[in-house]
Amino acid sequence: MHIFYRYIYSDAKSIPIKGWTVSEWIVWDVSHLNPLISTNDYNKYIISILYRSLLKYDIKDKKLISDLANCDISNLSYIECFLENNVYWSDKSPITINDVVATYNILKTTNVNPLMKSLLSDTTIEEKSDSIVFKNNKKNINFLNIFFQPIISEKLINELWVEELNKPFSPSKDSLYSGKYKVASIKEDKNLWVVELVLDKNENYFNNDVYLWKLSFKFFPNNNSLVKNKDLINIFNDDENLLWESVPRLESHYYSLPKYTTLFINSEKISSKSLRNFILNKIDRDKLIKVLWNEKYKQVINPYLTDYVIDKDLENKNIESTMEWLWYYKKAKLAKLILWEATTKTPTTVANTTEIKKTPTTEELEKQENKPLLYIISWLGKKFSFISQDDVLLKWDLKWEKPDAVYINDYQLKAYDKWDENFFYRLKEFDYETIKEWKNDYKIYFETNWKKELKEELIVFFYKDINKLSQEKENFYKTFIKTEVAKTPETNTWKESNINQTLKAKIDSIDDRYYYNKKIEKYTLKLMYIWWENNIEQTANFIKEILWDNWIGLEIEAINLSDLSKFVSQENSSQTYDMVLAWINLWYFDFNIYPYFHSSQAKLWYNFSNIKKLALDLILEDINSNKIYQDWFKEKEKKVLDIIKGEQVIKTLYTPIIDLLIDKNIKNINIDKYSSWQINRVNYLSTIYINEKKDINYTNKWVGDFFKFLFHIITW
């Protein structure tokens, strides 16, 4: 009987049985159902079920397709839309161009939706006999967001007072919907503290192919209320990992969004690329995700969510040399510097030799200074010079010496070859970061047979201000000429009477793991993070621990998004933070990173790193003003990422993996692994159903066919 049953149903088709109701539970306030005003994701989700817009986003093909209209978006400054045939409101009245024009005009002329109003500013809307035209001079891809705006009826707009526009719509009074479902009722259960919104299938939605006749949305005021009744859930978008696997009847369907957490380094405050490179290298994504929750987050390695790596290898492993360039030192060196300066007024011993040297005169010093930079002989065996502009080449003629490698401080000269007759080292402030204004110390090392030997020490005083340079030169000469060189076998010794004992005690008390300036102030950075979810705070603390482990102090401060907006727009705001930890949401156009890296956005909104590169601006503008061509974009995106990689101003970290929990009794669930927006999960509501029946194919069901089937079963 079992084999015969299998034979009969072997090629039967499953046919969904229409009807039934499923319930989705939400921890949020009751949706206001007003499609005109700015709103949260859950409001948008339900409104997208009730209303249609001119265009919608096709997740699979990643392109804009018709919802109410066919629109030509090849020219962003001139977009013409033709309304589809057979589009109706839920009362059977046709949706017209007048409805479209009325919707956009009310958004353009009132403050009901400031974001939409800004997008529509300087936009001319022209109504033709069979189309509507949008003209603007912005040529900006973000303008396409207006075509996702839900359209409401002209009749409703004419009936509403202006003060009613930003209020919740009444389902009894304003019952004109264009989506696949319409509002049936709103009920409140005071025992469960839940509000239930019930939607019915909209029979006047042309070719409405949904199988479920009713949808029920239950709104709970808090997590506890929902958890108490979790065994009754059909669908729950568990983006905060509230339930996870605690309800066996619910099956997980995972998806991710173009939303990710990123660390921005303020390039104006942390000007050293070496230090930026060091900080970014120390933040390990693998360790971070394990700290957060390995199964709920995945790594993001660049702002475009592609596989192109923008992480850069650690260029300067000796962070001490980088910190010294910033005038910060470890305790031992700081003590020598401060105590040496404290005793320079009455020094006692300084020489490394037993030979008594004659103190040169000012004239002799000036003659020495005018020699080539690496041929100046000073009283300590050091060479010195005074320059007022950078981009100077230091040249060394090797003559008979042929070392295997040459080092300037801790940097190995890459251009040097063993048989070169000379080598050069370029002193340039910004691009190379090899010189800074004030006193610069350079030690030249030769390496032969893996043995490193100090060959020369050089001091260069660099000031762009000529007057300042002259003053420093004069001070140097005065101090130099007054200095007595004594014969002694010791070096770097001081008379205890000359040392400020309070200063010495203060130096002794500091932590020798960290870096300090000559005011004995610890090098400390400030990170501001946008508190949105607990993972952001955890990430901020993770970064703090990592930097503290690497001898860099970090203070963290939480700030909300609206306050950050005000903060960034203030004058000199970029000087009050070193880093920003924020989540980025690219929405529909996941290639549009313009707001985060264009120079014009540095004082306006999202360009927290204050990166200002003309080459980068030009490419971003090009991408931002053109139609979406996949092959063309890949080439442009790579150029953008190469520039960002070179600047070392960001580290993209992770994106949450969202868990959509659905009752296992619900069939035909199609969830895309990647969605441009949470509201786009609405697509799965078109395919799901509860029950099904089998359509048996009775053709070719004869005795001979049965034995063929039986033979196949036996030999399989």
Q: Of 563, 554, 482, which Cα lies nearest the Cα of 514?
A: 554
CA distances from 316 to 410, 516, 588, 689 (A): 8, 20, 39, 60
Name the pTM for this structure.
Answer: 0.74
- What's the CATH number where 105 sits? 3.90.76.10
Model pLDDT, residue 397: 75
Q: What is the distance between the alpha carbons of residues 273 and 270, in angstroms, rounded to a whole number? A: 8
* Cβ(407)–Cβ(452) below 8 Å: yes
458 and 364, same structural domain?
yes
What average pLDDT does the structure give for the chain? 83
Strands 411-412 and 181-189, sheet pairing: unpaired
Express each pLDDT in 531-550 by its tens digit: 877 899 999 999 999 999 99
* Cβ(79)–Cβ(100) below 8 Å: no
Q: What is the dihedral of CA 38, 41, 44, 49, to 10 degrees?
A: -170
**Cα 600–chain centre separation:** 17
Please say which residue of 656, 683, 704 terminates a domain. Answer: 656
Give the model's confidence band at 368: pLDDT under 50 very low, under 70 low, under 90 confident, else very high: very low
What is the number of structural domains in the chain? 4
In a domain, 505, yes or no: no
In a domain, 338, yes or no: no
Domain span including residue 161: 52-168
Q: What is the distance between the alpha carbons of residues 312 and 90, in angstroms, rounded to a whole number? A: 57
* Cβ(293)–Cβ(655) below 8 Å: no
Please say which residue of 105, 135, 168 terminates a domain. Answer: 168
Q: Looking at residues 353-380, what average pLDDT do you find?
A: 44
Residue scoring higher pLDDT (98 or 333): 98
In a domain, 369, yes or no: yes
In a domain, 294, yes or no: yes
In a domain, 661, yes or no: no
For residue 370, pLDDT beyond 60 = no
In a domain, 332, yes or no: no
Model pLDDT, residue 213: 94
454 and 408, same structural domain?
yes
Q: What is the distance between the alpha carbons of residues 265 and 528, in angstroms, rounded to a whole number? A: 11
364 and 487, same structural domain?
yes
Which regions of 210-273 does DSSP assign to beta strands (E)?
A: 214-220, 235-238, 250-255, 259-265
For residue 607, pLDDT beyond 60 = yes
For residue 601, pLDDT beyond 60 = yes
In a domain, 198, yes or no: no
Express each pLDDT in 104-119 by its tens digit: 999 999 888 888 999 9
For residue 348, pLDDT beyond 60 = no
**Cα 365–chain centre separation:** 54
651 and 606, same structural domain?
yes
Q: Looking at residues 334-338, what average pLDDT do you find?
A: 82
Express each pLDDT in 453-484 by its tens digit: 888 888 888 888 888 888 888 887 776 655 53
612 and 553, same structural domain?
yes
529 and 472, same structural domain?
no
533 and 459, same structural domain?
no
266 and 135, same structural domain?
no
* Cβ(328)–Cβ(522) below 8 Å: no
Express each pLDDT in 401-411 by its tens digit: 788 888 998 88
Model pLDDT, residue 247: 94
Strands 392-397 and 422-427, sheet pairing: antiparallel
287 and 359, same structural domain?
no
Half-sphere exposure of residue 307: CA atoms within 13 angstroms, side-chain side:
0
Give the model's confidence band at 387: pLDDT under 50 very low, under 70 low, under 90 confident, else very high: confident
Please say which residue of 106, 138, 168 terminates a domain. Answer: 168
In a domain, 148, yes or no: yes
SS3 state of residue 521: coil
